[in-house]
């Protein structure tokens, strides 16, 4: 499949999806969101792919936000639909993907860019990365999950400070606030993300998907995360991966997981 605004490459069962509008700092317009939806669906369906990496093209920006030029003249219903469609097509899709998603944050991650990184399961940033939710400076609020996912990652107080001040934080603060898992020099960003992906994909794909569902369940309103964990845990016992993992342990060999 080829895309107008994305580059897609595979290596070692890791699919890297690069948002490729560098002259617009990879801003997320509707076409790009629709393409990301397709690319994520394709990655999930492809049995040869175990982990997805999301990054931005160029050395300056991961994603500098939703495309301001595209929504500047939207009406109230259009604004509401923009948030609803975007959340469904992209941000919730990333968070609930059945394969681990790592965001390699290679520069500015602002507004929808930070919201995209926060939807991923793991975030690694380059030293030059800058993160923020500047929406209130435009007279709007974060609409792609930022008011919910940022407090979960950094706590309500720091999230309020970031959202209300509209100020960016640097990679060092993002690391210390728990917003990103690691910070590395830019030239090591993709290789570090790839190494983590390879480490993750040594594990059972069925267990990885179950773990993502169980962790996410704790953040769903009204859901009982511990109960979901019990159910997901139990289901693992019926998988070929579980048989393989436990048999390989007893036989003192490396497990060969098939994702069944």
Catalytic residues: 115, 135
> Does 66 sit near ligand COA (CB under 6 A)?
yes
Q: Between 48 and 75, whose beta carbon lies closer to ligand COA? A: 75
Q: Is the dihedral angle over the CA atoms 65, 181, 231, 51 positive or is it negative?
A: positive
Smallest distance from the beta carbon of 67 to ligand COA, in angstroms? 4
Kindly calculate the radius of gyration of the chain based on its CA atoms and give it in whole angstroms.
Answer: 19
Closest approach of ligand COA to the CB of residue 85, in Å: 15
Query: Is the Cβ–Cβ distance between 63 and 116 less than 8 Å?
Result: yes
Biggest CA pair distance of the chain:
64
Instruction: Determine if 108 is a binding residue for ligand COA (CB under 6 A).
Output: yes
Q: What is the DSSP letter of 183?
A: E
Name the one range near ligand COA by CB under 6 A: 85-93, 104-112, 120-128, 228-236.
Answer: 104-112
* Nearer residue to ligand COA within complex by CB, 18 or 239: 18
Q: Does residue number 25 form part of the binding site for ligand COA (CB under 6 A)?
A: yes
Torsion, CA 238, CA 236, CA 217, CA 35, rounded to 10: -90
Residue 69 within binding range of ligand COA, rule CB under 6 A: yes
Q: Answer yes or no: are the C-beta atoms of 114 and 153 closer than 8 Å.
A: no
d(CA 37, CA 25): 19
- By CB under 6 A, name the binding residues for ligand COA: 24-25, 27, 64-69, 108, 110-111, 134-135, 138
């Amino acid at each position: 499949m080829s895309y107008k605004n994305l580059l897609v490459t595979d290596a070692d069962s890791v699919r890297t999806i690069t948002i490729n509008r560098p002259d617009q700092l990879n801003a997320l317009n509707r076409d790009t969101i629709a393409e990301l939806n397709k690319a994520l669906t394709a990655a999930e369906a492809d049995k040869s792919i175990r982990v997805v990496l999301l990054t931005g093209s160029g050395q300056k920006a991961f994603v500098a936000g939703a495309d301001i030029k595209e929504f500047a003249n939207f009406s109230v219903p259009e604004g509401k639909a923009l948030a609803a469609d975007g959340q469904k097509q992209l941000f919730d899709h990333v968070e609930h993907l059945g394969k681990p998603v790592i965001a390699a944050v290679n520069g500015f991650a602002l507004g929808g860019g930070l919201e995209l990184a926060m939807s991923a399961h793991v975030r690694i940033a380059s030293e030059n990365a800058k993160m923020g939710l500047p929406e209130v400076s435009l007279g709007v609020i974060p609409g792609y999950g930022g008011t919910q996912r940022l407090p979960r990652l950094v706590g309500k107080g720091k999230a309020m400070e970031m959202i209300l001040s509209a100020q960016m934080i640097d990679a060092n603060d993002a690391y210390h606030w728990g917003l990103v898992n690691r910070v590395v020099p830019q030239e090591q960003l993709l290789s570090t993300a790839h190494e983590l992906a390879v480490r993750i994909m040594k594990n059972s794909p069925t267990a990885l998907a179950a773990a993502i569902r169980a962790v996410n369940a704790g953040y769903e309103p009204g859901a009982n995360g511990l109960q979901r964990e019990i159910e997901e845990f139990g289901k693992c016992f019926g998988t070929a991966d579980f048989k393989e993992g436990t048999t390989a342990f007893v036989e003192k060999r490396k497990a060969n997981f098939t994702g069944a």
